[in-house]
Structure 1
Protein backbone atom coordinates (compact mmCIF):
# COMPACT_ATOMS: atom_id res chain seq x y z
CA UNK A 1 0.00 0.00 0.00
CA UNK A 2 1.20 3.52 -0.83
CA UNK A 3 2.19 5.46 2.28
CA UNK A 4 3.57 8.63 0.69
CA UNK A 5 3.35 10.56 -2.57
CA UNK A 6 6.23 12.55 -4.03
CA UNK A 7 5.16 15.04 -6.68
CA UNK A 8 6.87 17.16 -9.27
CA UNK A 9 5.57 20.71 -9.81
CA UNK A 10 5.91 21.96 -13.40
CA UNK A 11 3.56 20.13 -15.74
CA UNK A 12 2.27 18.02 -12.86
CA UNK A 13 0.60 20.18 -10.20
CA UNK A 14 0.97 23.36 -12.22
CA UNK A 15 1.42 24.59 -15.76
CA UNK A 16 4.88 24.83 -17.26
CA UNK A 17 3.83 28.13 -18.80
CA UNK A 18 3.50 29.83 -15.39
CA UNK A 19 7.15 29.15 -14.62
CA UNK A 20 8.40 29.98 -18.11
CA UNK A 21 6.17 32.97 -18.79
CA UNK A 22 5.86 34.52 -15.32
CA UNK A 23 8.52 33.36 -12.85
CA UNK A 24 11.55 33.09 -15.14
CA UNK A 25 11.04 36.50 -16.81
CA UNK A 26 10.40 38.11 -13.41
CA UNK A 27 13.68 36.75 -12.01
CA UNK A 28 15.60 37.68 -15.15
CA UNK A 29 14.26 41.22 -14.99
CA UNK A 30 15.02 41.62 -11.28
CA UNK A 31 18.45 39.93 -11.16
CA UNK A 32 20.64 43.01 -11.85
CA UNK A 33 18.99 45.22 -9.22
CA UNK A 34 18.72 42.35 -6.72
CA UNK A 35 22.43 41.46 -6.92
CA UNK A 36 23.47 45.10 -6.79
CA UNK A 37 21.36 45.72 -3.68
CA UNK A 38 22.42 42.57 -1.81
CA UNK A 39 25.91 41.90 -3.17
CA UNK A 40 27.69 41.99 0.20
CA UNK A 41 25.23 39.75 2.05
CA UNK A 42 26.75 36.36 3.03
CA UNK A 43 23.85 34.33 1.62
CA UNK A 44 24.24 36.02 -1.78
CA UNK A 45 28.02 35.74 -1.81
CA UNK A 46 27.78 32.02 -1.04
CA UNK A 47 25.64 31.40 -4.12
CA UNK A 48 27.77 33.63 -6.35
CA UNK A 49 30.91 31.76 -5.27
CA UNK A 50 29.20 28.44 -6.00
CA UNK A 51 28.21 29.72 -9.45
CA UNK A 52 31.77 30.89 -10.11
CA UNK A 53 33.10 27.46 -9.20
CA UNK A 54 30.54 25.69 -11.39
CA UNK A 55 31.10 27.96 -14.39
CA UNK A 56 34.84 28.50 -14.06
CA UNK A 57 34.31 32.25 -14.41
CA UNK A 58 35.45 35.14 -12.26
CA UNK A 59 32.32 36.77 -10.85
CA UNK A 60 33.79 39.79 -9.13
CA UNK A 61 30.88 42.19 -9.42
CA UNK A 62 27.08 42.18 -9.75
CA UNK A 63 27.21 42.87 -13.48
CA UNK A 64 29.27 39.78 -14.36
CA UNK A 65 27.28 37.61 -11.97
CA UNK A 66 23.98 38.84 -13.37
CA UNK A 67 25.16 38.12 -16.93
CA UNK A 68 25.94 34.51 -16.02
CA UNK A 69 22.61 33.98 -14.27
CA UNK A 70 20.76 35.54 -17.21
CA UNK A 71 22.55 33.09 -19.51
CA UNK A 72 21.65 30.16 -17.27
CA UNK A 73 18.00 31.24 -17.24
CA UNK A 74 17.98 31.35 -21.05
CA UNK A 75 19.54 27.85 -21.13
CA UNK A 76 17.10 26.56 -18.49
CA UNK A 77 20.06 25.34 -16.45
CA UNK A 78 19.19 23.35 -13.31
CA UNK A 79 22.10 24.87 -11.37
CA UNK A 80 21.56 25.05 -7.62
CA UNK A 81 23.02 28.59 -7.19
CA UNK A 82 20.65 29.93 -9.84
CA UNK A 83 17.65 28.17 -8.34
CA UNK A 84 18.50 29.45 -4.87
CA UNK A 85 18.80 33.07 -5.99
CA UNK A 86 15.69 32.83 -8.14
CA UNK A 87 13.83 31.68 -5.04
CA UNK A 88 14.98 34.75 -3.14
CA UNK A 89 13.80 37.03 -5.95
CA UNK A 90 10.48 35.22 -6.34
CA UNK A 91 9.84 35.60 -2.62
CA UNK A 92 9.62 39.35 -3.08
CA UNK A 93 7.23 38.92 -6.01
CA UNK A 94 4.91 36.62 -4.08
CA UNK A 95 4.92 38.76 -0.95
CA UNK A 96 4.38 41.89 -3.01
CA UNK A 97 1.32 40.34 -4.65
CA UNK A 98 2.84 40.53 -8.13
CA UNK A 99 1.47 37.04 -8.87
CA UNK A 100 0.18 33.83 -7.28
CA UNK A 101 1.38 30.35 -8.24
CA UNK A 102 -0.75 28.57 -10.80
CA UNK A 103 -2.33 25.23 -9.89
CA UNK A 104 -4.43 23.00 -12.10
CA UNK A 105 -8.05 23.01 -10.84
CA UNK A 106 -7.82 19.39 -9.60
CA UNK A 107 -4.56 19.77 -7.71
CA UNK A 108 -5.49 21.25 -4.34
CA UNK A 109 -8.54 19.02 -3.85
CA UNK A 110 -6.52 15.87 -4.57
CA UNK A 111 -3.71 16.91 -2.25
CA UNK A 112 -6.19 17.60 0.55
CA UNK A 113 -7.93 14.28 -0.05
CA UNK A 114 -4.69 12.30 0.06
CA UNK A 115 -3.62 14.10 3.21
CA UNK A 116 -7.00 13.32 4.82
CA UNK A 117 -6.48 9.67 3.92
CA UNK A 118 -3.30 9.65 5.99
CA UNK A 119 -0.77 9.84 3.16
CA UNK A 120 2.39 11.88 3.59
CA UNK A 121 3.00 14.33 0.76
CA UNK A 122 6.38 15.51 -0.52
CA UNK A 123 7.59 17.75 -3.34
CA UNK A 124 10.59 17.02 -5.57
CA UNK A 125 11.39 19.80 -8.03
CA UNK A 126 14.45 21.31 -9.68
CA UNK A 127 13.43 24.61 -8.09
CA UNK A 128 14.96 25.27 -4.68
CA UNK A 129 13.18 24.16 -1.52
CA UNK A 130 12.63 27.80 -0.63
CA UNK A 131 11.00 28.39 -4.03
CA UNK A 132 8.80 25.32 -3.59
CA UNK A 133 7.54 26.57 -0.22
CA UNK A 134 6.77 29.95 -1.74
CA UNK A 135 4.97 28.29 -4.64
CA UNK A 136 2.60 26.34 -2.42
CA UNK A 137 2.43 29.09 0.17
CA UNK A 138 1.17 31.66 -2.35
CA UNK A 139 -0.82 29.42 -4.69
CA UNK A 140 -4.05 30.17 -6.53
CA UNK A 141 -5.73 28.04 -3.83
CA UNK A 142 -4.05 29.76 -0.91
CA UNK A 143 -1.43 28.45 1.48
CA UNK A 144 -1.08 24.67 1.01
CA UNK A 145 2.24 24.22 2.82
CA UNK A 146 0.60 22.49 5.81
CA UNK A 147 -0.25 19.57 3.50
CA UNK A 148 3.39 18.69 2.87
CA UNK A 149 5.73 16.69 5.08
CA UNK A 150 8.88 17.72 3.24
CA UNK A 151 10.52 19.14 0.13
CA UNK A 152 13.42 17.98 -2.06
CA UNK A 153 15.43 19.79 -4.71
CA UNK A 154 18.67 19.32 -6.65
CA UNK A 155 20.63 19.05 -3.40
CA UNK A 156 19.22 15.50 -3.32
CA UNK A 157 20.49 14.95 -6.88
CA UNK A 158 19.27 15.60 -10.40
CA UNK A 159 15.80 14.41 -11.26
CA UNK A 160 16.79 11.99 -14.01
CA UNK A 161 19.27 10.09 -11.84
CA UNK A 162 18.21 6.98 -9.93
CA UNK A 163 20.52 7.83 -7.03
CA UNK A 164 18.43 10.93 -6.31
CA UNK A 165 15.37 8.83 -5.64
CA UNK A 166 17.34 6.53 -3.35
CA UNK A 167 18.43 9.63 -1.43
CA UNK A 168 14.85 10.85 -1.11
CA UNK A 169 13.58 7.41 -0.07
CA UNK A 170 16.19 7.24 2.67
CA UNK A 171 15.26 10.73 3.87
CA UNK A 172 11.56 9.84 3.98
CA UNK A 173 12.30 6.61 5.80
CA UNK A 174 9.84 4.36 3.95
CA UNK A 175 10.56 1.47 1.57
CA UNK A 176 10.55 2.58 -2.08
CA UNK A 177 7.66 0.18 -2.72
CA UNK A 178 5.52 2.39 -0.45
CA UNK A 179 6.26 5.54 -2.44
CA UNK A 180 4.45 6.95 -5.49
CA UNK A 181 6.18 9.50 -7.72
CA UNK A 182 4.15 11.83 -9.96
CA UNK A 183 5.74 13.66 -12.88
CA UNK A 184 5.16 14.66 -16.48
CA UNK A 185 8.71 13.71 -17.55
CA UNK A 186 9.36 10.15 -18.73
CA UNK A 187 13.07 10.14 -17.81
CA UNK A 188 12.31 11.22 -14.24
CA UNK A 189 9.72 8.47 -13.90
CA UNK A 190 12.19 5.95 -15.31
CA UNK A 191 14.75 6.94 -12.68
CA UNK A 192 12.17 6.70 -9.88
CA UNK A 193 10.97 3.31 -11.12
CA UNK A 194 14.58 2.06 -11.21
CA UNK A 195 14.78 3.07 -7.53
CA UNK A 196 11.72 0.94 -6.78
CA UNK A 197 9.00 3.61 -6.66
CA UNK A 198 5.52 3.30 -8.08
CA UNK A 199 5.11 5.89 -10.83
CA UNK A 200 2.34 7.75 -12.65
CA UNK A 201 2.85 10.17 -15.51
CA UNK A 202 0.70 13.30 -15.81
CA UNK A 203 -0.09 14.10 -19.43
CA UNK A 204 -2.08 17.28 -18.89
CA UNK A 205 -2.44 18.13 -22.59
CA UNK A 206 -2.89 14.56 -23.82
CA UNK A 207 -0.04 15.01 -26.28
CA UNK A 208 2.99 13.28 -24.80
CA UNK A 209 2.62 9.93 -26.55
CA UNK A 210 3.15 6.44 -25.21
CA UNK A 211 4.72 5.65 -21.85
CA UNK A 212 5.86 2.60 -19.92
CA UNK A 213 4.22 4.21 -16.88
CA UNK A 214 0.55 4.57 -15.97
CA UNK A 215 -0.70 7.79 -17.62
CA UNK A 216 -3.48 10.12 -16.44
CA UNK A 217 -4.51 13.61 -17.52
CA UNK A 218 -5.52 14.90 -14.06
CA UNK A 219 -5.01 14.14 -10.39
CA UNK A 220 -8.63 13.07 -9.97
CA UNK A 221 -7.98 10.19 -12.39
CA UNK A 222 -5.25 8.70 -10.19
CA UNK A 223 -5.94 5.32 -8.63
CA UNK A 224 -3.38 4.64 -5.95
CA UNK A 225 -1.46 1.39 -6.58
CA UNK A 226 -2.27 -1.42 -4.16
Structure 2
Protein backbone atom coordinates (compact mmCIF):
# COMPACT_ATOMS: atom_id res chain seq x y z
CA UNK A 1 0.00 0.00 0.00
CA UNK A 2 1.07 3.60 -0.52
CA UNK A 3 0.14 5.58 -3.60
CA UNK A 4 -2.26 3.97 -6.05
CA UNK A 5 -2.46 5.73 -9.44
CA UNK A 6 -6.01 5.91 -10.80
CA UNK A 7 -6.21 4.84 -14.47
CA UNK A 8 -6.62 7.81 -16.82
CA UNK A 9 -9.95 6.57 -18.23
CA UNK A 10 -11.65 6.62 -14.81
CA UNK A 11 -14.39 9.26 -14.64
CA UNK A 12 -16.42 8.01 -11.68
CA UNK A 13 -15.60 6.53 -8.28
CA UNK A 14 -18.11 4.06 -6.84
CA UNK A 15 -17.96 3.55 -3.07
CA UNK A 16 -19.12 0.76 -0.80
CA UNK A 17 -20.11 1.94 2.71
CA UNK A 18 -19.55 -0.69 5.40
CA UNK A 19 -15.80 -1.28 5.84
CA UNK A 20 -14.99 1.35 3.18
CA UNK A 21 -16.37 4.81 4.10
CA UNK A 22 -17.66 3.68 7.48
CA UNK A 23 -16.37 1.31 10.19
CA UNK A 24 -18.03 -2.12 10.16
CA UNK A 25 -18.33 -1.70 13.94
CA UNK A 26 -20.74 1.25 13.43
CA UNK A 27 -23.24 -1.03 11.72
CA UNK A 28 -22.71 -4.01 14.03
CA UNK A 29 -22.27 -2.19 17.35
CA UNK A 30 -24.42 0.93 16.91
CA UNK A 31 -27.11 0.58 14.24
CA UNK A 32 -28.30 -2.98 14.87
CA UNK A 33 -28.17 -2.87 18.69
CA UNK A 34 -30.14 0.39 18.52
CA UNK A 35 -33.03 -1.54 16.94
CA UNK A 36 -32.96 -4.34 19.53
CA UNK A 37 -32.70 -1.93 22.47
CA UNK A 38 -35.39 0.50 21.30
CA UNK A 39 -37.97 -1.45 19.28
CA UNK A 40 -40.46 -1.82 22.16
CA UNK A 41 -40.26 1.86 23.09
CA UNK A 42 -40.54 2.87 19.41
CA UNK A 43 -43.65 0.72 18.85
CA UNK A 44 -45.34 2.13 21.97
CA UNK A 45 -44.58 5.71 20.92
CA UNK A 46 -45.66 5.33 17.29
CA UNK A 47 -48.34 2.62 17.56
CA UNK A 48 -51.23 4.84 16.45
CA UNK A 49 -49.41 6.05 13.34
CA UNK A 50 -50.35 4.59 9.97
CA UNK A 51 -46.72 3.94 9.00
CA UNK A 52 -46.09 1.98 12.20
CA UNK A 53 -49.24 -0.07 11.70
CA UNK A 54 -48.16 -0.92 8.15
CA UNK A 55 -44.76 -2.04 9.49
CA UNK A 56 -46.40 -4.18 12.17
CA UNK A 57 -48.89 -5.61 9.68
CA UNK A 58 -46.00 -6.72 7.46
CA UNK A 59 -44.14 -8.27 10.38
CA UNK A 60 -47.14 -10.07 11.72
CA UNK A 61 -50.40 -10.98 10.07
CA UNK A 62 -52.65 -9.93 12.92
CA UNK A 63 -56.17 -11.10 13.52
CA UNK A 64 -57.95 -8.17 15.22
CA UNK A 65 -56.40 -7.37 18.59
CA UNK A 66 -58.38 -5.63 21.31
CA UNK A 67 -56.97 -2.71 23.29
CA UNK A 68 -56.37 -4.88 26.35
CA UNK A 69 -54.03 -7.03 24.28
CA UNK A 70 -51.86 -4.15 23.11
CA UNK A 71 -48.86 -5.04 25.30
CA UNK A 72 -49.06 -8.68 24.22
CA UNK A 73 -49.19 -7.68 20.55
CA UNK A 74 -46.24 -5.31 20.96
CA UNK A 75 -44.24 -8.00 22.76
CA UNK A 76 -44.97 -10.48 19.96
CA UNK A 77 -43.64 -7.99 17.40
CA UNK A 78 -40.57 -7.26 19.56
CA UNK A 79 -39.87 -10.99 19.89
CA UNK A 80 -40.24 -11.43 16.14
CA UNK A 81 -37.82 -8.58 15.39
CA UNK A 82 -35.23 -9.97 17.83
CA UNK A 83 -35.64 -13.46 16.36
CA UNK A 84 -35.21 -12.28 12.76
CA UNK A 85 -32.15 -10.20 13.67
CA UNK A 86 -30.56 -13.09 15.57
CA UNK A 87 -30.78 -15.14 12.36
CA UNK A 88 -29.55 -12.18 10.27
CA UNK A 89 -32.74 -12.28 8.22
CA UNK A 90 -33.10 -9.59 5.54
CA UNK A 91 -36.87 -9.64 5.05
CA UNK A 92 -38.61 -6.63 3.54
CA UNK A 93 -40.74 -6.30 6.68
CA UNK A 94 -37.73 -6.17 9.01
CA UNK A 95 -35.74 -3.80 6.77
CA UNK A 96 -38.75 -1.47 6.52
CA UNK A 97 -39.20 -1.20 10.30
CA UNK A 98 -35.43 -0.80 10.82
CA UNK A 99 -35.34 1.97 8.22
CA UNK A 100 -38.13 3.88 9.93
CA UNK A 101 -36.52 3.46 13.35
CA UNK A 102 -33.12 4.62 12.09
CA UNK A 103 -34.73 7.61 10.39
CA UNK A 104 -36.17 8.68 13.76
CA UNK A 105 -32.85 7.98 15.53
CA UNK A 106 -30.80 10.08 13.09
CA UNK A 107 -33.33 12.92 13.02
CA UNK A 108 -33.38 13.19 16.84
CA UNK A 109 -29.57 12.98 17.10
CA UNK A 110 -29.54 9.63 18.93
CA UNK A 111 -27.37 8.21 16.13
CA UNK A 112 -24.78 9.83 13.86
CA UNK A 113 -23.33 8.09 10.79
CA UNK A 114 -19.66 7.34 11.37
CA UNK A 115 -17.27 8.24 8.54
CA UNK A 116 -13.52 7.55 8.45
CA UNK A 117 -11.69 10.88 8.71
CA UNK A 118 -9.90 10.56 5.35
CA UNK A 119 -13.17 10.17 3.41
CA UNK A 120 -14.57 13.70 3.13
CA UNK A 121 -11.29 15.54 2.28
CA UNK A 122 -10.49 12.89 -0.36
CA UNK A 123 -13.93 13.06 -1.99
CA UNK A 124 -13.73 16.87 -2.12
CA UNK A 125 -10.39 16.57 -3.99
CA UNK A 126 -11.82 13.97 -6.39
CA UNK A 127 -14.76 16.23 -7.18
CA UNK A 128 -12.47 19.22 -7.72
CA UNK A 129 -10.57 17.04 -10.22
CA UNK A 130 -13.83 16.45 -12.10
CA UNK A 131 -14.67 13.00 -10.77
CA UNK A 132 -18.25 11.88 -10.18
CA UNK A 133 -18.74 10.00 -6.90
CA UNK A 134 -21.46 7.39 -6.29
CA UNK A 135 -22.45 5.03 -3.47
CA UNK A 136 -23.30 1.34 -3.97
CA UNK A 137 -24.36 -0.48 -0.81
CA UNK A 138 -26.61 -3.38 0.15
CA UNK A 139 -28.30 -0.97 2.58
CA UNK A 140 -31.27 0.83 1.03
CA UNK A 141 -30.79 4.20 -0.66
CA UNK A 142 -32.87 5.73 2.17
CA UNK A 143 -30.54 4.22 4.80
CA UNK A 144 -27.49 5.49 2.85
CA UNK A 145 -28.89 9.02 2.72
CA UNK A 146 -29.59 8.98 6.47
CA UNK A 147 -26.03 7.86 7.25
CA UNK A 148 -24.45 10.59 5.12
CA UNK A 149 -27.11 13.22 5.84
CA UNK A 150 -26.67 12.90 9.63
CA UNK A 151 -22.97 12.00 9.80
CA UNK A 152 -20.16 12.76 12.22
CA UNK A 153 -18.98 15.18 9.47
CA UNK A 154 -22.40 16.86 9.19
CA UNK A 155 -24.65 16.61 6.11
CA UNK A 156 -22.34 15.43 3.31
CA UNK A 157 -24.97 14.28 0.80
CA UNK A 158 -23.84 17.02 -1.61
CA UNK A 159 -20.61 15.07 -2.16
CA UNK A 160 -22.42 12.25 -4.00
CA UNK A 161 -23.79 12.25 -7.53
CA UNK A 162 -26.07 9.27 -6.92
CA UNK A 163 -26.86 6.20 -4.84
CA UNK A 164 -27.37 2.55 -5.77
CA UNK A 165 -28.62 -0.35 -3.65
CA UNK A 166 -29.44 -3.98 -4.41
CA UNK A 167 -32.46 -2.93 -6.50
CA UNK A 168 -29.90 -2.55 -9.32
CA UNK A 169 -28.67 -6.09 -8.54
CA UNK A 170 -26.54 -7.99 -6.00
CA UNK A 171 -23.03 -6.67 -5.37
CA UNK A 172 -21.50 -10.08 -6.09
CA UNK A 173 -22.91 -10.23 -9.66
CA UNK A 174 -21.00 -8.60 -12.51
CA UNK A 175 -24.22 -7.61 -14.32
CA UNK A 176 -24.95 -5.11 -11.50
CA UNK A 177 -21.84 -3.11 -12.41
CA UNK A 178 -22.86 -3.02 -16.08
CA UNK A 179 -26.27 -1.66 -15.03
CA UNK A 180 -24.64 1.00 -12.84
CA UNK A 181 -22.37 2.08 -15.72
CA UNK A 182 -25.40 2.32 -18.02
CA UNK A 183 -27.28 4.32 -15.39
CA UNK A 184 -24.34 6.73 -14.91
CA UNK A 185 -23.92 6.97 -18.69
CA UNK A 186 -20.37 5.68 -19.04
CA UNK A 187 -18.45 2.49 -19.82
CA UNK A 188 -17.64 0.06 -17.01
CA UNK A 189 -13.92 0.82 -17.40
CA UNK A 190 -14.64 4.50 -16.64
CA UNK A 191 -15.50 3.45 -13.07
CA UNK A 192 -13.23 2.70 -10.09
CA UNK A 193 -15.02 0.66 -7.39
CA UNK A 194 -13.74 0.73 -3.80
CA UNK A 195 -14.87 -2.13 -1.54
CA UNK A 196 -13.58 -4.24 1.35
CA UNK A 197 -15.11 -7.48 0.00
CA UNK A 198 -13.06 -9.53 -2.52
CA UNK A 199 -16.19 -11.26 -3.92
CA UNK A 200 -17.62 -7.85 -4.84
CA UNK A 201 -14.28 -6.73 -6.25
CA UNK A 202 -14.17 -9.88 -8.36
CA UNK A 203 -17.69 -9.32 -9.74
CA UNK A 204 -16.85 -5.70 -10.63
CA UNK A 205 -13.62 -6.76 -12.30
CA UNK A 206 -15.48 -9.35 -14.41
CA UNK A 207 -17.54 -6.43 -15.75
CA UNK A 208 -14.28 -4.62 -16.69
CA UNK A 209 -14.63 -2.14 -13.82
CA UNK A 210 -11.43 -0.94 -12.10
CA UNK A 211 -11.20 -2.06 -8.47
CA UNK A 212 -9.26 -1.35 -5.28
CA UNK A 213 -9.79 -3.28 -2.05
CA UNK A 214 -9.93 -1.14 1.10
CA UNK A 215 -8.18 -2.28 4.28
CA UNK A 216 -9.77 -0.73 7.37
CA UNK A 217 -9.65 -1.53 11.11
CA UNK A 218 -12.21 -4.26 11.86
CA UNK A 219 -12.49 -5.53 8.27
CA UNK A 220 -12.22 -9.24 7.53
CA UNK A 221 -8.66 -10.33 6.74
CA UNK A 222 -7.56 -11.08 3.18
CA UNK A 223 -5.81 -14.24 2.03
CA UNK A 224 -2.23 -13.94 0.75
CA UNK A 225 -3.53 -14.56 -2.78
CA UNK A 226 -6.05 -11.71 -2.44
CA UNK A 227 -3.37 -9.38 -1.03
CA UNK A 228 -1.05 -10.04 -3.94
CA UNK A 229 -3.82 -9.94 -6.59
CA UNK A 230 -5.81 -6.81 -5.72
CA UNK A 231 -4.72 -3.18 -5.54
CA UNK A 232 -4.98 -2.32 -1.84
CA UNK A 233 -5.49 1.01 -0.05
CA UNK A 234 -5.89 1.76 3.66
CA UNK A 235 -6.98 5.38 3.15
CA UNK A 236 -8.75 7.26 0.37
CA UNK A 237 -5.81 9.69 0.37
CA UNK A 238 -3.67 6.94 -1.22
CA UNK A 239 -5.53 7.31 -4.53
CA UNK A 240 -3.52 9.44 -6.93
CA UNK A 241 -5.52 11.11 -9.70
CA UNK A 242 -3.41 11.81 -12.80
CA UNK A 243 -5.89 14.49 -13.88
CA UNK A 244 -5.29 16.51 -10.73
CA UNK A 245 -1.61 17.14 -11.42
Map residues 93-104 of structure 1 onto 2, 5 A cutoff: 93-104=105-116
Aligned residues of 1:123 and 1:150 also touching (Cα < 8 A): yes
Say if 2:141 is the partner of 1:129. yes
Aligned residues of 1:59 and 1:65 also touching (Cα < 8 A): no
Q: Which runs of 5+ in 1 are unaligned?
A: 53-57
Q: Larger relative contact order (C-alpha < 8 A, sep ≥ 6)?
A: 2
TM-score where L is the length of structure 1:
0.84
Change (3 A) 1:66 1:96: same
Q: Which runs of 5+ in 2 are unaligned?
A: 1-8, 63-72
Deviates more, 1:65-74 or 1:181-190: 65-74
Distance 2:180 2:57 in 1: 27
Q: What SS does structure 1 have at the residue aligned with 2:116?
A: coil
Deviation at 1:141, TM superposition (A): 1.1
Deviation at 1:35, TM superposition (A): 4.4
Larger Rg: 2
Deviation at 1:64, TM superposition (A): 4.5
Distance 1:84 1:187 in 2: 27
Map residues 1-226 of structure 1 onto 2, 5 A cutoff: 1-35=9-43, 38=46, 59-60=61-62, 63-205=75-217, 207-210=221-224, 211=226, 212-224=229-241
Distance 2:76 2:135 in 1: 33
Deviation at 1:33, TM superposition (A): 4.0
Deviates more, 1:13-22 or 1:28-37: 28-37
Deviation at 1:222, TM superposition (A): 2.0
Deviation at 1:133, TM superposition (A): 0.5
Change (3 A) 1:37 1:225: farther
Change (3 A) 1:98 1:39: closer
Deviation at 1:223, TM superposition (A): 3.3
State the superposition RMSD in angstroms.
2.6
TM-score where L is the length of structure 2:
0.78
Change (3 A) 1:45 1:223: farther
Distance 1:94 1:8 in 2: 20
Change (3 A) 1:66 1:125: farther
